[in-house]
Amino acid sequence: MKTSSGRSSNQGFTLVGLIIIVAVLAILAAMLLPALARAKRKAQRINCVNNLKQDGLAFRLWEGDNGDKYPMAVSTNKGGTMEYAEGGNVFRHFQIMSNELSTPKILVCPADDRTAAASFARLKNQNVSYFVGLDAEIETRPQMLLTGDRNITNGMAPVRSVLELRPGIPAGWTEAMHNGQGNVGLSDGSVQQVTIDGLRRAIKYSGDATNRIALPE
């Protein structure tokens, strides 16, 4: 009789202990998962900034070899992409800089659901996470938008994949990436992490009334 009672007591204790362990693990998970999610978003944001810095450097290297002009300001007859600007052919502006970029992987933001192209020859808009500022110039307008996350918006549909950003038309970020925020690269090669207010200030002080950007739709 005593032996039977001992077994029941041990089984009861084991069950209670298991319940306590499960409860503790559930509490820890509830505390850690949000922190892990924030850490992941932060890491993605940092990687995205690094991508845009490399993209900006590629633009600078390319313009240094092409009369101090970015591809968007150089005719296709001279190796640029000027004629592609109005159609929103974003991938063309990056494709022309394949030597400077070295890999298509840096054209995809880690927070985006898009995948990198296997090669620059196979690059399409669907393999690009970043917009390109069509009127960016290093010499006269160094603060204009050159690159940035594709989740940018002005509340209106782009015309042929080209969006106009002006101080009178409030710009912002969609929730598609970076938790409703974004990153922008300027003509001078700098990269900024900006909220909606920060984006609007960047546009206001860009040095031009309008920033035309091609979106990789």
* Alpha-carbon distances, residue 105 vs 5, 51, 101, 141, 148 (angstroms): 66, 9, 9, 28, 15
Give the model confidence (pLDDT) of 60-111 as tens digits: 999 999 999 999 999 999 999 999 988 889 999 999 999 999 999 999 999 9
DSSP 162: E
Domain-by-domain residue ranges, the chain? 41-214
pTM for the full model? 0.82
> Going by DSSP bridges, is the β-strand pair 191-194/182-186 parallel, antiparallel, or unpaired?
antiparallel
Helix (H) or strand (E) holding 3: helix 2-64
pLDDT digits over 111-169, tens only? Answer: 999 999 999 999 999 999 999 999 998 888 899 999 999 999 998 888 889 999 998 88
